Structure 1
Amino acid sequence: MIRGSIVAIVTPMAEDGSVDFPALERLVEWHIAEGTDGIVAVGTTGESATLDVEEHIAVIRCVVEVARQRVPVIAGTGANSTAEAIELTGEGKNAGADACLLVTPYYNKPPQEGLYRHYKAIAEAVDVPIILYNVPGRTGCDLLPATVKRLAPIDNIIGLKEAKGELGRVKELLELKLADFTLLSGDDATACESILMGFQGDISVTANVAPRLMHQMCAAALAGDRVAAEAADTRLRLLHKNLFVEPNPIPAKWALQAMNRIGAGIRLPLVPLDPSHYTTVREALRAAGAL
């Protein structure tokens, strides 16, 4: 089962922007050693928007091969074209991913019926477990609970990453009482409370730099241990906030560079973290014991 702390892993790059596969391999091994429960390859944090298809699949394949089935690997395969999403999801399956994560179509703002048909078409075209992904702050499109309820009975649609960041939405989704359907937070700041309320885990940016503590927080919350979960989350709170002082994954990649885990590479139109934020991000890393 896909649950617990699932890292939305960065894609390490050399200074010229090329993918640094040895660094990616080291990151995967580190995450598994630190207790990370699953890995999302080439999600938003993995700079999916600027990797070409060949690179995209190569990153997924690399993560799958290094993980060796020790943790689930989820491939980000969303697109704002249904045909493109079908093609990319097929490639993700062929690369060996355990499931595929598909963000709502961005920019073209489909209505709820369009979202339903989009996901239904992908699920029918590719026999792989599919996790829906709602992040309206980035896409300009909100996958409503009523539409999630329509999609949930489709056999290979197995869950949802909800990144609206509102506990009211968490409550609405839990009230649907969907059978055999995994609800995952996509918002670190509200993940602890979301899991305590009934979600099964968190697809996390923070886990990139504090994997062991994120695992401990999620495990405590899943066990219903509010005291332990909130204690861990208190130490993580500055990371939840300060890893977003600039658009993700800019601060996370800088933090990992400061931890000597990756190089400085990032692709335009993203740029390295502004030096005015160095102290802010360092403080968050120290609070979590990551630096």
Structure 2
Amino acid sequence: MDISRLEGIVAILPTPLAPNGAIDEPALRHLVEFGVEQGMDGLVVLGSNGEFPYLSFEEKREVMGIAAETAAGRIPVIGTASAAGTDQAVALARAADDAGCDAVMAAVPAYFEIGADEVVSHMETLASEGDVPVFFYHFPEVTGVELSPAEIAQVAAVPGVVGAKITVVNSTFQREVIEATRPSDWQVFSGTSFLLASCVEAGGAGVFCPLPLLGPAAVRELWVALRDGRRQRAEALQADLLRAIPLMSGIDAPVEQLIDGFKLAAHGPFGGSGTRPAPSQGLLKAALRLCGHPLGPTVKSPCREAGEEEVALLERTLHELGWVNGS
């Protein structure tokens, strides 16, 4: 499987947990099977919505092993190499390779401030010693590491780093990253389905996002329209998909108000990343449960489960979208 040619819809899986905090293996296997059945082009475990900062090394190894074994080569599985230091990242990458993952996604170490030189050095070591292809995970609101498109292009030049997930909610920045990394074969993915159309129209490869687990048919239809060059249809589908913003934000406000705010931030000039986001893992698990998936609400501390008002918002939004049955 040539992971460097990956494109399309890559779903970010949550990490299902039993009430005692242990990995819920049956629920994880269910989600992997669901991703395969729904025609996802790939799956990511242990991303931000997979609670990677709060799981032990052994728990991460377990999750990667279960996911890769369940997928059984039917679909690419991307593990994690996001860690507090380079040595730990390399160890995770090797564990992912041993588990059968096709690649890893790696955010930068974030405790102390680092710049582009340190990021490139980190990625060089990870890619050369980790024994598995790497997707660079750029999420400056969380890591505090702001890189320009030109600096991200330096990461793109590192052998073994095959692409990136750009979690910056701004289409201008996203487009500039894609342009800066041309004419290489580097695959740039949006970190949100709400910017999938602008990403693909700029030459990007698709999306890494949890939303396809909640509305697989809607996100797939958008991707197919983009792939087939049906731009007018894609624009209409992208606009319709924005009604799902409450599922990701947990903000109970008129949906048109949320959409207007999103458009203002996403399609204007890029002025830098915003404030650190609140954890959304509890929201995702609650929404999946409302869609009929067999996973409980448990999250790793200090994350928190979705509250009653948030669950009511999720349920109302899912009904309005027609996604209650996971469609």
**Same fold? TM cut 0.5:** yes
Q: Which amino acid aligns with 2:231?
A: R
Q: Distance in 2 between matches of 1:212 and 1:61?
A: 28
Q: Which has the higher contact order (CA 8 A, sep 6+)?
A: 1
Write out per-residue CA displacement over residues 206-232 of structure 1, whole angstroms, 9 at most, x where no aligned residue. Answer: 122112322222222233222332333
Q: Distance in 2 between matches of 1:221 and 1:95?
A: 34
1:136 equivalenced with 2:169 (yes/no): no
Write out per-residue CA displacement over residues 178-228 of structure 1, whole angstroms, 9 at most, x where no aligned residue. Answer: 411100011232222212222111001212211232222222223322233
* TM-score using structure 1 length: 0.94
Instruction: Tell me the number of residue pairs that the alignment of Structure 1 and Structure 2 aligns.
Output: 291
Q: Which amino acid aligns with 1:251?
A: L
Q: Is the 8 A contact 2:247 2:284 kept in 1?
A: no
- CA shift in 2, pair 1:35/1:23, >3 Å: same
1:204 corresponds to which residue? 209
Which structure 2 residues correspond to residues 171-182 of structure 1 after superposition, within 5 A? 171-176=175-180, 177-182=182-187
Q: Which amino acid aligns with 2:110?
A: Y
2:197 corresponds to which residue? 192
Q: Is the 8 A contact 2:44 2:77 kept in 1?
A: yes
Q: Is the 8 A contact 1:210 1:290 kept in 2?
A: yes
Write out per-residue CA displacement over residues 119-176 of structure 1, whole angstroms, 9 at most, x where no aligned residue. Answer: 1111121231111010011111123222222232333111011011111111211222
Correspondent of 2:60 among 47, 56, 61:
56
1:265 corresponds to which residue? 298
Q: Distance in 1 between matches of 2:309 and 2:25?
A: 30
Q: Distance in 1 between matches of 2:90 and 2:166?
A: 21
Query: Is the partner of 1:271 in helix, strand or coil?
Result: coil
1:238 corresponds to which residue? 243
Write out per-residue CA displacement over residues 10-51 of structure 1, whole angstroms, 9 at most, x where no aligned residue. Answer: 111122222111011111111111121110011111111111
Unaligned regions of 5+ residues in structure 1, if any? none
The structure 1 segments of at least 4 consecutive aligned residues displaced by more than 6 Å after TM superposition are none
Correspondent of 1:118 among 119, 122, 126:
122
Q: Is the 8 A contact 2:247 2:287 kept in 1?
A: no
Q: Distance in 2 between matches of 1:178 and 1:244?
A: 35
1:285 equivalenced with 2:326 (yes/no): no
1:247 corresponds to which residue? 279
Q: Is the 8 A contact 2:246 2:313 kept in 1?
A: no
Q: Distance in 1 between matches of 2:9 and 2:139?
A: 18
Unaligned regions of 5+ residues in structure 2, if any? 251-277
Q: Distance in 1 between matches of 2:228 and 2:39?
A: 16
The alignment's C-alpha RMSD in Å is 1.6
Query: Is the partner of 2:48 in helix, strand or coil?
Result: coil
Percent of aligned pairs with the same amino acid = 26
Q: Distance in 2 between matches of 1:287 and 1:194?
A: 26
Q: Distance in 1 between matches of 2:174 and 2:137?
A: 14
Correspondent of 2:288 among 256, 263, 268:
256
Which structure 2 residues correspond to residues 66-105 of structure 1 after superposition, within 5 A? 66-105=70-109
1:90 deviates by 1.1
Range moving further from structure 2, 2-11 or 106-115: 106-115
Q: Is the 8 A contact 2:134 2:163 kept in 1?
A: yes
Q: Distance in 1 between matches of 2:217 and 2:69?
A: 22
Q: Which amino acid aligns with 1:41?
A: V
Range moving further from structure 2, 221-230 or 117-126: 221-230
Query: Is the partner of 2:74 in helix, strand or coil?
Result: coil
Q: Distance in 1 between matches of 2:64 and 2:118?
A: 28
1:286 deviates by 2.2
1:94 deviates by 1.2
Which structure 2 residues correspond to residues 2-17 of structure 1 after superposition, within 5 A? 2-17=6-21
1:288 deviates by 3.1
Q: Is the 8 A contact 1:208 1:252 kept in 2?
A: no
1:285 deviates by 1.5
Query: Is the partner of 2:169 in helix, strand or coil?
Result: coil
* TM-score using structure 2 length: 0.84
